[in-house]
Chain A
Amino acid sequence: MTDQKNKTFKVLSPTAILGYGFPRESFARGMKEKPDLIAVDGGSADPGPHYLGSGKSFTNKEGVKRDLAIMIEAGLKARIPVVVGTSGGCGAKPHLKWCARIVREIATEHNFSFKMGLIPGDISPGTVKNALKDNRIFPLDHSVPLTEDAVDQSTHIVAQMGIEPFIKAHEQGCEVILAGRAYDPSAFAALAVMRGFDKGLALHMGKILECAAIAASPGSGSDCALGILEEDCFVLKPLSLERKFTKISVAAHSLYEKADPYHLHGPGGSLNLEHCSFTELEDGMVKVKGTLFEPSEKPTVKLEGASLAGFRTISIAGTRDPILIDIIDDVLDKVKKRVQSFFPDMDIENRLHLSVYGARGVMGSLEPEKTKGHELGLLIEALGDTQEKADTICSLFRSTLLHYGYEGRIATAGNLAFPFSPSDISAGEVYRFSIYHLMEISGDELFPLICENIIGGRNDID
């Protein structure tokens, strides 16, 4: 490792999530700054459990390909690595494979040759179960204690990797690195830490850059940003003339999607922002100082898993009748009970969910208002062990409600307005988060590196 005193380390972050796009002008402006690294976040757990459970990406293939082609071309030309964290949206095996295939397509089409490093983020059920036996698994937030069954039922289990697996790939000279599930800042911070820069500052800069221009003002999820790491601070620089970083926009971003803005937990330790200062510089730049990395007593990784909850069928309908609207909750309850009487063995209460838009459709049990609109939208959602069972519950609830003779009814031809025929939509598999836990690691090699030489569009490993 070389001493980096009086030197800087620049990271170009093209967009908030790979595939969301970015203006070529902003990217070119970023490349003119001679960055040391191009890094991008490839995913998030935010779109819900379906994508991790099913192995599909929530990002668009053509969008990802377009972004990556520009990044790889620029990276190869400038001889700097291109790194993707949480590839394919969730960073499990099928997601990483999907992203790697896109990279190979790009290489073939553009005749690029380079060394690619793949870092899977999957954790085997055996590893998790061993940790469970050793009491090395702890629930996060208010998730329930983990069980062996939950492990077995999970279709994919991933862990958020820290900077170490990325450093290994950099040491091996990988020019394009695709990682499975990663702690968001890792992809941005690893090379800087490897070159001797402060870990706390590098990770904090990564924490902001992973969202690219979202932390600027006006914020954007599809524009570039540059981070300039120095010995005792880092500077954020906008790459679009219409945007600037401000003290508030950067500080406010530290709050985003975090429970505690002063302590940001990650693999191996936490970022302490208690003594952090944010200073506005010229040209829309902001300087950040004082972030501290505090190693945790025992190294941990955050596990994520999803399992199949069943199959969903939905139906959408509206009502405009004030007599029904007035007693809607009572009517829905009675219709539910009637459907339950048709299927005494089925737990309808936990199989049927009704969202009443115009009353509490958006906030559910958190809704403080008791008022209702002059028309209500009703979303009927049935969950079954099979698609057929979900179809049955949805269908019977819908037909029973349509002709239910509630008290005081005047409109006797039908209680609901359906926008569609067919009225019911079989919506397929439903996944749920099954694992959201911390795992203490015990020297296991969790994140292997697979190197692949891509030559003129051909590759030596599939």
Chain B
Amino acid sequence: MTLIELASVIRSKNAGPYLLTMDILFKDKICFEKFRAAGLMSKEKAAELYGIDVADVQSVIFFEPADALKITINRPIVSGGHGDSDIYGAQQHIPLMNWEFELAEG
């Protein structure tokens, strides 16, 4: 399965010029809890999906008030730096969107 089946929003954006932050807003509490309980997301998994070192993953945080998951990584290039391809960081969500995983039933 993919996150599209569980979430209504999957997005990325700068959190300041040095960080890139990804938000996954789950469709409801049930989807949120099911995904969280499965323990599928970790700093290691985020690093794997983005092809970066675990040290470049700042945090993986589940945010209960919004039934959301937040992943923050270091930007490979500071916003607006030479060679940056996405000043706002708004198009870096794809690895999360395409990620395929198994979620146990029940």
Q: Which residues of A contact B (CB under 8 A)?
A: 45-50, 140-143, 247-248, 251-252, 254-262, 273, 276-278, 309, 350, 353, 355, 361-366, 368, 381, 383, 430-433, 436
Contact = CB atoms under 8 A, between A and B. Distances in A.
Nearest to A263: B61
A364 B82 CA distance: 12
Interface of B: 9, 13-19, 21, 23, 25, 49-52, 58-59, 61, 63, 65-68, 70, 72, 74, 76-88, 91-92, 94-95, 98
A115 to B, nearest CB: 35
A353 B85 CA distance: 10
B90 to A, nearest CB: 10
B85 A362 contact: yes
Contact of B51 (A47, A247, A366, A432): A366
Given A142-B18, A261-B61, A364 B83 contact: yes
Nearest to A139: B18
11 contacts: A47-B88, A49-B17, A142-B74, A252-B68, A255-B66, A255-B68, A256-B23, A258-B21, A259-B16, A259-B21, A433-B79
Nearest to B51: A368
Contact of B65 (A143, A254, A353, A364): A254
Given A260-B61, A262-B61, A248 B67 contact: yes
A254 B74 contact: no
A140 B65 contact: no
Contacts of A254: 63, 65-66
Given A257-B15, A363-B85, 4 more contacts: A261-B68, A273-B65, A363-B94, A365-B76
A364 B51 CA distance: 11
Given A248-B67, A255-B66, A277-B65, A366 B82 contact: no
A70 B18 CA distance: 36
Contact of B72 (A46, A259, A309, A366): A259
Nearest to A350: B82
- The 10 A-B pairs at the shortest CB distance, nearest first, are namely A48-B80, A251-B66, A141-B18, A353-B83, A251-B65, A49-B80, A259-B72, A259-B15, A261-B63, A252-B66
Nearest to B85: A364
A261 B66 contact: yes
Given A141-B19, A364-B77, A432-B80, A257 B13 contact: yes
Given A45-B17, A46-B14, A248 B66 contact: yes
A363 B13 CA distance: 13
A433 B80 CA distance: 8
A143 B18 contact: yes
Contacts of A436: 16-18
Nearest to A355: B85
Given A49-B79, A363-B86, A255 B19 contact: no
Tell me which of A141, A142, A259 has the highest count of chain B C-beta atoms within 10 A of its own C-beta: A259
Nearest to B62: A261
A431 B82 CA distance: 9
Contact of A278 (B58, B65, B76): B65
Tell me which of A252, A278, A353 has the highest count of chain B C-beta atoms within 10 A of its own C-beta: A252
Tell me which of A45, A50, A247, A363 has the highest count of chain B C-beta atoms within 10 A of its own C-beta: A363
B104 to A, nearest CB: 25
Contacts of A276: 65
Given A258-B15, A259-B58, A432 B86 contact: no
A278 B65 CA distance: 7
B17 A256 contact: no
Contacts of A364: 76-77, 83-86
B85 A255 contact: no
Contacts of B25: 248, 252, 255
Contacts of B66: 248, 251-252, 254-255, 261
Nearest to A304: B17
A272 to B, nearest CB: 13
A361 B94 CA distance: 13
B14 A257 contact: yes
